[in-house]
């Protein structure tokens, strides 16, 4: 961890610096995030988990079976997070799995019932 660079301006930092001497940016929180494998806000390195999260979020909107994509990508993201703990994304994956799976199933049932009602009328 001797070769640290400022995420704001890209200039080299003295080891253990709490803020950048060049641009004044504080990155104490950033350092805490790097230590905590599950505390990442956005898992940039785990795209499956990130897409699963957005699928889960957008799965609440009916008319699109995106929730099932969130479920599949969430499982993928969870596997990726297990193999590469540094890439994070467990929380995002679980949101994709739980929310995406739940709403994906709900809209699937609703669509199926609507189709059934249309066919039987
Ligand atoms: Zn800087």
For residues 57 and 43, what is the distance between their CA atoms, to the nearest angstrom? Answer: 16
Nearest to 24 by CA among 41, 11, 34, 42: 11
pLDDT digits (tens, 9 = 90+) for 45-99: 888 888 989 888 888 776 566 888 889 999 999 999 888 887 788 889 999 999 9
Beta carbons within 10 angstroms of residue 10's beta carbon: 10
CA 5–ligand 1 middle distance (angstroms) = 8
CA 6–ligand 1 middle distance (angstroms) = 5
| Overall pTM surpassing 0.75 (yes/no) | no
CA 30–ligand 1 middle distance (angstroms) = 13
Token pair listed for 19: 């803020």
Q: Do 62 and 107 meet the contact criterion of CB atoms below 8 Å apart?
A: yes
């Amino acid at each position: 961890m001797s070769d640290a660079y400022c995420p704001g301006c890209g200039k080299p930092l003295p080891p253990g610096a709490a803020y950048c001497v060049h641009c004044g940016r504080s990155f104490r929180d950033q350092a805490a995030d790097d230590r905590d494998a599950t505390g990442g806000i956005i898992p940039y390195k785990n795209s499956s988990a990130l897409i699963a999260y957005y699928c889960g979020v957008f799965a609440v909107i009916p008319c699109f079976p995106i929730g099932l994509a969130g479920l599949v990508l969430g499982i993928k993201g969870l596997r990726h997070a297990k193999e590469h703990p540094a890439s994070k994304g467990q929380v995002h994956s679980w949101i994709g799995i739980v929310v995406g799976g739940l709403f994906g199933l709900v809209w699937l049932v609703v669509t199926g019932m609507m189709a059934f009602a249309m066919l039987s009328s």
